[in-house]
Each structure stands twice: as C-alpha cells, then as structure tokens.
Amino acid sequence: MDPWSRRDGTDGTDEDTTIRAADRGPAMALSVRPAGPVPPQAAHAPHAARTEAGAGAADTKAGADTKAGAGAADTEAGVAGVGSPTRPLVTELHLSAFKSHRGATYPLGPLTVFAGPSGSGKSSALQAYGLLVRLGAGDPLERALAAVPGGAAACAPDRAAPDEQGRRGFRIGCTVDGPAGPVRLDVAVQTEPDLRIAGERLTGGGRTLFTTALTDPGRRTVQAAWHTAGPAPVTRVPFPDDRLGTALLPLRVAGTTAGQRLVLAAAEQMLIALRSSFRCDPRPEAVRAFARTPTASHQWSEAARLRPDCGNLAAVLERTGRECATRHAVLVEAVRAGCSPQVNDVRADRHALADADGRAHAADGQPGPGGRRRGRDDVRADGTGAAVRAVLERDGELGALPVDWLGDGELRYLALALVLLTGPGVLAVDPVAEVLPARQVLTVVADGLDRCLDRRQSTALFELAVRMATRGHVRLLGTVTDASVAARMPGSRVLHLGV
C-alpha cells in the first residue's frame, strides 16, 4: 500500500485517514479519526465542489463536479495564452484533511473563486493556501500557523479525535505545473501533542523525489530522503521538524547528479509558484487612517510597497503614476468604470495636518504658521505635519475628491484594481529574487473579494482581472458571496462549496 494513501470508511460511521511519511523503516502514522458517527451526507460534503467555467469545457477532479460553458477546454492557455506552462503555476489545492475539508482537490485557474454560504469552507481553503505559501517562504511552522484564526488546533479536521497515542493533525498540499512538469507536494502536520511537520512528500513524473518521516518522536528532527540516482540511489539526512523540507532543498542538494538536478528542479518550481503570492484584504479604515497620519520620507519614496491592507495606497499611487503611465491610464479607466465616470485622474498629494492648537500646517513648501516654509517631508517631532492623501481629479467645477472620503465599496474597488495592475516590485511580497519577474506569475489571494462591492463594481473588477490574466502575469484566487458575476467571465472557475 502507498504509505500516503487515504482509507475512508464507506458506511458513514467511521473515517480513518492515515499518513505515513517514509518509504522504508519505522514511520509515524498520523491518524485522523472522527469522534463519533459521521452523517453520510457529511462524509465528503459540504466540500464536493461544483465548478462553473466561464468559457471552458468540463474539468472533473476528485470531489469536484464541473459545470462548463460552451467553448474550448478551460486550460491555462485559454486565458493566459500559454500551453504547457513555462512559468510555475499552482494548478491544484489538495485538502486531504483540513478543518471541514476532507479528501478534496480543487482545480485552480487564472481566475478562481470559491463560493458558498457562510461556514461552507471558503475562507479555510484560502487559509490552507496561505499556510503553504508561508511554509514555502521558509517560515517556521508555529509562525506560519499564527496567521490562521484559531492557530494549529483549529486546523485539525472537524470531528477528529486523537489516535491511540493522543496524536491529531491535518494534511494539505498542492500541485504546481511548470517547466519540470506537474509536481505535487503533500504535507502532514501533527498538532497534538507536539506541533511538528510529521511527514512531507514531493512527487513528479511518477517518481517520489523527496520525503520526510518522523522516526523518533523524542527528537525535534525528521528523517529526510531524496532521489540521487548516483552511487547511492537515495540520500538520507536529518531535517528540522518545524520547517518545510522542500524549502530547504536548494540549500542542501548539490545538484551533481541527474537525479539531484531533478529534485532541485521540482523543488524550485514548487517554491517559485508558492512564493509568488500576495494576500490582499483592503481595509477602508486603514486608508483613512493613513490620510490622517504624518508620512515620513521613506514612505513617499520609490521604496513604498503596497501593504496587504492597502492602507498606504496613497503613497503607492504616487509611485505607480510616475513609473508607468500606461498602467496608470488603465487604472484611471477602471476607476471611471467602478467609481465615477467624471474622474480624469487619480493621484497622490500632500495635505496639511493640524497642530494640537488646531492651526493647520501647509504642505509642499507653502508658508506655515509664522511664515516658515515647510518642505514636503517636514514632519514635526510631536507627530503633526504633512500627510499623504490620494485624490480623484474630476471634471470641471467638481474638482478634487479625497479618496478617503469615498465609501467602503469604492475604496475597496480602487485598492483591488491597483493590486491587479501592479506586481511584486510594488506589492509587499517576497518573490524568489534569483528568478526574473517575467518567469513568475503573481497570484493575488483575496478573501471576501466582492465585499462591499455593488454589481457594477464586481463586474468591472472581474473584467480587469480577466484582462490582466490574459497577459499571463497575474492570477486571482478569492472567495465571493455572489458568484453570478464571476461565472460569466471568460476563463473563470467558480468552485461551489456546501452544495
């Protein structure tokens, strides 16, 4: 039996998922057993996903029923303009045992959204994806799990009781397609009694390229083994049990044999795809707070990068408007479509902040109190001075409208449009520096993508996402409440949960 195989009961009363992360020798089995009967309809529901492809043919996956529109096959080439991907892309998310997800494989395309009622698992699917991203970036397991609401304990599958040795955990993974072909990563995490990565497996081309196994629970290490195809067919060394072993391979594998180069190619492809990700959750209150906060020179410089909450949107707008007139024009066009047709420009400006006594300080070298001219970066030690504010320039007598005066929906729309039109050099991401940006595809991950947006704004935003995905440098993965808009977009993929 495959040591990573999954055994599920079919009588609806018991389900046993066993993970063993070793090809030889003693291994740790991480068992996930429900505490009590599982209703037949809950054995695989609510996460049997129904996919609607905007302009693609049926694509059936394990646990996914696909509804397709008329047209050619919905492949990466259908939107991104590529056949066999030359840039690494995460094409599947595997949630073997994570929160309420069991035995689920979700296909990911250039524009993929999870839809379903509250509690159906939309957000938890993105949490699993984000966890893989952070582990791929080299974060320790505890830090990577800290971003998941509830932490490690909340990730164990619903109704899962500890095994005979008191162990509980979860399993997640993904498939990445690229120059090395499809490469799959599976990770088994033990959450009780000790937090650790209990097992890991990297496969590609029908071969197991890399595995780790917990052979001695008393040690904080796992036994790692990778394909060598040299005098010794397999290399075995200890790895720390709080790090993703795949992320350590580029530093540990010499690459002197064909087998080692195969392992390195698969690992690097996986890491490039995972690290090319930007989690985006625009917070209107953060944008408004930034407009009231004195801004230091380094926040107004070319080094300004957009934060996940998009609070520093104004500082980044100044930079993007100066660096790329073409994309800035597209942003203005998008703002007209989603905010106001009278908008002529979107720009950043300095504005005065008040002293504690209520007197305003002027900005941009204009005379301030006492006739003294203040520079654009002149900020008082007591925290008063000039702040950065984004404004919409409108037709005629309408004049400039501060962006922080907009409603939540308009602010979120503007921030999401800006994210789709930029890249790793502008967004606060940590891509693989050794790989040219043209060889990477950025995945924007947005939970609650349509939150606060009306139908007009949702339509304009998804049209912009399709436009950028067609160029092959941006992908969108998110959750929505209303999937009707996304379902009509060419090349979109809607995964319905809880149905």
Distances (CA, A) of 207 to 9, 252, 360, 402: 28, 20, 68, 57
Q: Is residue 483 part of a domain?
A: no
Q: Is residue 441 part of a domain?
A: no
Burial zone of 228 (CB within 10 Å; 0-12 exposed, 13-18 middle, 19+ buried): buried
Range(s) of the domain holding residue 352: 280-428
Asked if 178 and 89 count as a contact pair (C-beta separation under 8 A), the reply is: yes
Distances (CA, A) of 455 to 264, 459, 470, 483: 46, 6, 22, 11
Nearest by Cα to 416 from 309, 327, 328, 322: 309
pLDDT of residue 260: 95
pLDDT of residue 433: 61
Question: Is the domain of 94 the same as that of 138?
Answer: yes
How are beta strands 183-192 and 196-204 bridged, if at all? antiparallel
Question: Is the domain of 163 the same as that of 215?
Answer: yes
Question: Is the domain of 198 the same as that of 334?
Answer: no
Structure tokens at 102: 């069991």
pLDDT of residue 295: 58
Q: Is residue 410 part of a domain?
A: yes
Q: Is residue 159 part of a domain?
A: yes
Cα–Cα dist 20/125, whole Å? 23
Question: Is the domain of 59 the same as that of 145?
Answer: yes
Among 277, 296, 317, give the residue marking a domain's end. 277
How are beta strands 101-107 and 89-98 bridged, if at all? antiparallel
Question: Is the domain of 270 the same as that of 391?
Answer: no
Question: Is the domain of 175 the same as that of 306?
Answer: no
Cα–Cα dist 199/188, whole Å? 5
Q: Is residue 7 part of a domain?
A: no
The single residue listed with the structure tokens 């060889």 is 439
Question: Is the domain of 360 the same as that of 408?
Answer: yes
Asked if 120 and 46 count as a contact pair (C-beta separation under 8 A), the reply is: yes
Question: How many structural domains is the chain composed of?
Answer: 2
Cα–Cα dist 485/499, whole Å? 19
Mean pLDDT by 10 residues, the chain (499 residues): 34 30 32 34 38 37 36 34 70 96 96 94 97 96 96 89 88 96 97 95 96 94 92 92 97 93 96 94 92 61 76 86 86 92 86 46 40 40 60 85 93 95 76 66 95 96 93 92 94 91
Asked if 237 and 224 count as a contact pair (C-beta separation under 8 A), the reply is: yes
Neighbouring-strand partners of residue 94:
105, 173
Question: Is the domain of 313 the same as that of 267?
Answer: no
Among 209, 243, 277, give the residue marking a domain's end. 277
Question: Is the domain of 202 the same as that of 292?
Answer: no
Buried b (16+ CB within 10 A) or exposed e, 363-399: beeeebeeeeebebbbbeeeebbbbbbbbbbbeeeee
The single residue listed with the structure tokens 């979700």 is 106
Asked if 109 and 491 count as a contact pair (C-beta separation under 8 A), the reply is: yes
Question: Is the domain of 215 the same as that of 360?
Answer: no
Q: Is residue 490 part of a domain?
A: no
Structure tokens at 377: 């970066």
Question: Is the domain of 211 the same as that of 98?
Answer: yes
Q: Is residue 12 part of a domain?
A: no
The model's pTM:
0.79
The single residue listed with the structure tokens 């892309």 is 89
Q: Is residue 48 part of a domain?
A: yes
Neighbouring-strand partners of residue 160:
34
Among 428, 463, 492, give the residue marking a domain's end. 428
Question: Is the domain of 194 the same as that of 300?
Answer: no
